Amino acid sequence: MDSILQGLGQAFWLIITFDPDLYEIIAMSLRVSLSAVLVASAIGLPLGAWLAVNRFRWRRTTIAVLNALMGLPPVVVGLFVYLLLSRSGPFGVLGLLFTPSAMIIAQVIIITPLIASISHQAIRDLWAEYHDLLISMNATRGQRIRALLWDGRRALLTATLAGFGRAIGEVGAIMIVGGSIEHSTRVLTTAIALETSKGNLEFALGLGVVLIALAVAVNMTIHGLSGTERAPAW
Amino acid sequence: MKRSYSLLRAFAAFLSLVLALSAAPARAEVMRMAVTTSFENSGLADVLLPAIREDTGIEVQLVVVGTGQALRLGAAGDVDAVLVHARAAEEEFLAAGHGTHRREIMYNDFVLIGPQDDPAGIAGAESAAEALKRIAAAQALFVSRGDDSGTHKKELSLWSAAGIDPAGGWYRPIGAGMGAALNTASAMNAYVMSDRASWLNFGNKSDLALLFAGDPALFNQYAYIPVNPALHPHVRADLALRLEEWLVGARAKELINGYRVNGESLFVFNAVSK
Amino acid sequence: MSTLAGTLATGAAQGCEAGAGTRQPLLPLVLERAEARARGKLLIGPVDLTLGRSGFTIVMGPNGSGKTTLLRLMHGLQRLSAGTIRWNLPEPIARKRQAYVFQAPIMMRRSVLDSIAYPLLLRGTPRSEARARAADWAVRVGLGAALHRPAPVLSGGEKQKLALARALIGGPEILFLDEPCANLDGRATREIETILLDARAGGTRIVMATHDMGQARRLASEVLFLYGGRVHESGAAKGFFAAPETPEARAFMNGEIVE
């Protein structure tokens, strides 16, 4: 119990003293995870909608694979991306290993299935509702997907925020491909892992509290900007 | 045909988006060095890195991993140099041509940690081998790194020197880093072997205490190996050499020998100038 | 309400985009031996019928007689299993010149204004123009005060009026309606009937299924009586209501239970 209280105290102290290292780490966490969410949403949302609207031969298999990929262990993704980006790997010449780009790529791979799967479920229900209307109005395939994405935006926002939650709290993959290099690729989660390994449990817990506060702040900001959870549910 | 083009375009767009989001100005004097967890945990890096930057203008980025992974990173050309402590593995690394040469920089030592009341009675042992024999005889809980790291390799060589094949319920290999091993030992009130630096910096000691140290068999030699630019033309061999010169120089000697945690010095500088 | 007829007529005419003068008419629509099946089971058919260029056709018949399936088949929502359905124009063009109002209105998660404007946006009408015309239509159907309310929170009658405006804004040559006034009260029903009569006066061909005998008498110019998945009896409204020819139609008109 003492440790937990000390952790909260540490978190509070870190925040009010504007510890520059902490803010650097927070900025890197946000940069990596928000970028990953942006890219993963750009892929996952249309993919989810496309899967909901189209009937094709491997559809069920694709959806099953997508759902299975949601449970992909981040460490495996990290290893996979490491092998791709390593100087000895196929994309080694790009020199992306141990950079924020590498962390973004790994997180995109981790959260895209999640975003696509959740948005697929939401869009599938909406499509069942809109199907006759959109067919009747002669909407093209692209127009249908656009209408579903736009009208399903609240559910899709949830999918996106779920992706963000998974990205900001992820440590296994970015540790491997980012290296947790101080002042370069260190983010909140890898800093927590580092402090834990040093036995600085209270400090690590403090960083954990900061991480949660950050996630809550981002969620509230986005809900605030989008006006969700205020207007009636539609 | 059309479809595959649009797929290609989508992938290109994805890549450029990632690059745009993460583009950082390229800095000329940056090099990467893989170091072991025990080195990072010692806190010495926080003293050395700013001094290196000040004297040479090189920004050294540390990738902190176990010795095994550090050497893998070097072999793959993902770092420009490695600073590790596992003699046999280092020799192998050099024999395979992954590194240009090996330069000894400094050493610290390993210590045996255990419950304060010392149920196996290792505090009075005359050698490290003797201490380990007592732990095995008492079947006292012992946490092993079990992660193929330099520390783990050292531990295994000590067991074999003691003529013991550690196995059984009392021996707990956890497959994790030094910090995790210490945290585990702290929670289980078990014996564990640690490098002195990690132990002194460790913040979660609870009932553990340093019980045995000082046997030369426990010395832990750190060596610096630049990655071979003949295999990996992109490595910053120039920076790696400049860093080496600094590491074996007078400023490094002063900082390494002078580094203290809780009043105890951790490292002994032993580089030989050419 | 009498001035509405004129404005609705212009509304329908506006929909005729490319050279209204020279344009080929969509109708007549001819069904020959048309059948619809679901998993091998015959839903309706074989149906033979011709829909002429003008008029207000009421589709009647007991539950399960195939009213909805027939409307969906003509509109292209239900796949044709056998026979032919022929418009006076090629299918892709014909699909663009018709509209459909469902029994349970499907509300998009958008404002009233954007919902009504949506069919125009699908056709590439610039957003500002589409919104202006949608606002116009909202006023015509009595939703002028609800422009910025979310469509899904409207009352049942308001939803159906929105669906009507949405169907009519594109100026369809033919409008299918599947019991649009089911579950609505008298006032909402009357308002919707007024809109429909105005649309018809503006030149829109209307085909509507209904259960409401009074509504059928008020609106119909011709009647299709379905029974057992086939057109059992058809003809001009006057004759049908005065003296149905078949015993089933007669029984149905008398309010007996026809199965």
Q: What SS3 class is residue B23?
A: coil
Q: Is the pLDDT of residue A229 over 80?
A: no
For residue range B51-89, list pLDDT tens digits in order: 999 999 999 999 988 888 899 999 999 999 999 988 889
Structure confidence at residue B5 (pLDDT): 54
The answer to whether B41 contacts chain A (CB < 8 Å) is: yes
Taking CB atoms and an 8 Å limit, are C118 and A130 in contact across chains? no
Q: Please report whether residue A144 resides in a domain.
A: yes
The answer to whether C152 contacts chain A (CB < 8 Å) is: yes
Per DSSP, A56 falls in state -
Taking CB atoms and an 8 Å limit, are C108 and A151 in contact across chains? yes
Least confident of A7-21, B136-150, C99-113: A7-21
d(CA C165, CA C162): 5
pLDDT band at A199 (very low <50, low <70, confident <90, very high): confident
Structure confidence at residue A216 (pLDDT): 92
CATH architecture of C2-14+50-108+172-253: 3-Layer(aba) Sandwich (3.40)
Closest residue to C109, CB basis, from A132, A143, A234 = A234
> How far away is chain A from the Cα of C138, in angstroms, using its nearest Cα?
19
Taking CB atoms and an 8 Å limit, are B61 and A181 in contact across chains? yes
The answer to whether A92 contacts chain B (CB < 8 Å) is: yes
Mean pLDDT, rounded, for A150-178: 91
CB C109 within 8 A of CB C49: no
pLDDT band at C92 (very low <50, low <70, confident <90, very high): confident
| CB proximity under 8 Å: A 119-158 to C | 129-130, 132-133, 135-139, 143, 147, 151-152, 154
Length of chain B, in residues: 274
Measure CA B213 to chain center.
Answer: 19
> Look-up: residue for tokens 């796949």?
C79
Q: What residues in A contact B48, CB-CB < 8 Å?
A: none
Q: Is the pLDDT of residue A173 over 90?
A: yes
Taking CB atoms and an 8 Å limit, are A108 and B64 in contact across chains? no
Mean pLDDT, rounded, for A125-133: 93
DSSP collapsed to 3 states, C38-102: ECCEEEEEEEEEEECCCCEEEEECCCCCCHHHHHHHHHCCCCCCEEEEECCCCHHHHHHCEEEEC
Q: What residues in A contact C207, CB-CB < 8 Å?
A: none
Secondary element (H or E) of residue B194? strand B191-195
Q: Is the pLDDT of residue A92 over 90?
A: no
Taking CB atoms and an 8 Å limit, are B179 and A197 in contact across chains? yes
Per DSSP, A227 falls in state T
Phi, psi angles (nearest 5°) of residue C221: -110, -25
Cβ–Cβ contacts within 10 Å for residue A2, how many? 7
> How far away is chain B from the Cα of A100, in angstroms, using its nearest Cα?
6
Q: Please report whether residue A105 resides in a domain.
A: yes
Least confident of A60-64, A102-106, B38-42: B38-42
Q: What residues in A contact B175, CB-CB < 8 Å?
A: none
Structure confidence at residue A2 (pLDDT): 73
pLDDT band at C201 (very low <50, low <70, confident <90, very high): very high
> How far away is chain C from the Cα of A140, in angstroms, using its nearest Cα?
8
Structure confidence at residue B14 (pLDDT): 58
pLDDT band at A14 (very low <50, low <70, confident <90, very high): confident
Looking at per-residue pLDDT, the higher value among C14 and A93 belongs to A93
Neighbours of A, requiring at least 3 CB pairs below 8 Å, are B, C
Question: In the predicted model, what is the mean pLDDT of chain C?
Answer: 88
Taking CB atoms and an 8 Å limit, are B61 and A98 in contact across chains? yes
Structure confidence at residue C151 (pLDDT): 93
List of residues 6+ apart from C95 with CB closer than 8 A: A138, C76
Residue of chain A whose alpha carbon sits nearest to that of C167: A137
Structure confidence at residue B15 (pLDDT): 58
> How far away is chain A from the Cα of C21, in angstroms, using its nearest Cα?
24
Measure CA A206 to chain center.
Answer: 22
Least confident of A42-56, A159-173, B12-26: B12-26
d(CA B155, CA B134): 15
Vertex B115, ends B112 and B121: CA angle to 5°?
Answer: 70
Q: What SS3 class is residue A54?
A: coil
Among residues C181, C220, C168, the alpha carbon closest in space to that of C8 is found at C168
d(CA A9, CA A3): 10
Sheet holding C29-38, edge to edge: C41-51, C29-38, C82-86
CATH architecture of B30-107+219-269: 3-Layer(aba) Sandwich (3.40)
Q: Please report whether residue A203 resides in a domain.
A: yes
Closest residue to C153, CB basis, from A130, A143, A232 = A232
Q: What SS3 class is residue A87?
A: coil
For residue range B131-148, list pLDDT tens digits in order: 999 999 999 999 999 887
d(CA B94, CA B106): 19
Taking CB atoms and an 8 Å limit, are B182 and A98 in contact across chains? no
Angle formed by the axes of helices A201-226 and A20-53, to 10°? 50
Q: Is the pLDDT of residue B232 over 50?
A: yes
DSSP collapsed to 3 states, C162-181: HHHHHHHCCCCCEEEEECCC
Tell me how far CA of residue A218 lies from CA of A33, A160, B147, B183, in angstroms.
11, 12, 38, 33
Strand C56-60 to B268-269 pairing: unpaired
Q: What residues in A contact B179, CB-CB < 8 Å?
A: 196-199
Residue of chain A whose alpha carbon sits nearest to that of C166: A137
Q: What SS3 class is residue C223?
A: strand
Among residues C94, C52, C90, the alpha carbon closest in space to that of C76 is found at C94
Mean pLDDT, rounded, for A192-197: 86
Least confident of A17-21, B72-76, B245-249, C183-187: A17-21
Please state which CATH number belongs to domain B109-218. 3.40.190.10
For residue range C135-149, list pLDDT tens digits in order: 999 999 999 999 999
Alpha-carbon torsion angle A13, A18, A21, A27, nearest 10: 110
CB C138 within 8 A of CB C165: yes
Q: Is the pLDDT of residue C2 over 50?
A: no
Measure CA B256 to chain center.
Answer: 16
Q: Is the pLDDT of residue C252 over 50?
A: yes
Question: In the predicted model, what is the mean pLDDT of chain B?
Answer: 87
Taking the model in full, what pTM does it have? 0.77
| CB proximity under 8 Å: A 202-231 to C | 231
Q: Please report whether residue A101 resides in a domain.
A: yes
pLDDT band at B197 (very low <50, low <70, confident <90, very high): confident
CB C37 within 8 A of CB C81: yes
Q: Is the pLDDT of residue C12 over 50?
A: no
What percent of chain B has pLDDT above 90?
A: 64
d(CA C244, CA C251): 9
Mean pLDDT, rounded, for A210-233: 77
Taking CB atoms and an 8 Å limit, are C122 and A139 in contact across chains? yes
Secondary element (H or E) of residue A218? helix A201-226
Q: Is the pLDDT of residue C9 over 50?
A: no
Structure confidence at residue B1 (pLDDT): 40
Structure confidence at residue B34 (pLDDT): 94
CB A32 within 8 A of CB A111: no
Secondary element (H or E) of residue A101? helix A100-136
Structure confidence at residue B274 (pLDDT): 66
What percent of chain A has pLDDT above 90?
A: 52
Measure CA C164 to chain center.
Answer: 9
What percent of chain B has pLDDT above 70?
A: 89
d(CA C110, CA C149): 8
Q: Is the pLDDT of residue B209 over 60?
A: yes
Mean pLDDT, rounded, for A102-119: 95
d(CA B212, CA B135): 12
Strand C41-51 to C29-38 pairing: antiparallel
For residue range B91-134, list pLDDT tens digits in order: 999 999 999 999 999 999 999 999 999 999 999 899 999 999 99
d(CA A43, CA B4): 16
Amino acid found at B49: L
Domain ranges of chain B: 30-107+219-269, 109-218
Q: Report how many domains make up chain A.
A: 1
- Please indicate whether the domains covering B30-107+219-269 and B109-218 agree at the CATH topology level: yes
Structure confidence at residue B16 (pLDDT): 62
Q: Is the pLDDT of residue C171 over 80?
A: yes
- Provide the residue range defining the domain that includes A189: 2-10+20-226
> How far away is chain A from the Cα of C229, in angstroms, using its nearest Cα?
22
Structure confidence at residue B6 (pLDDT): 54
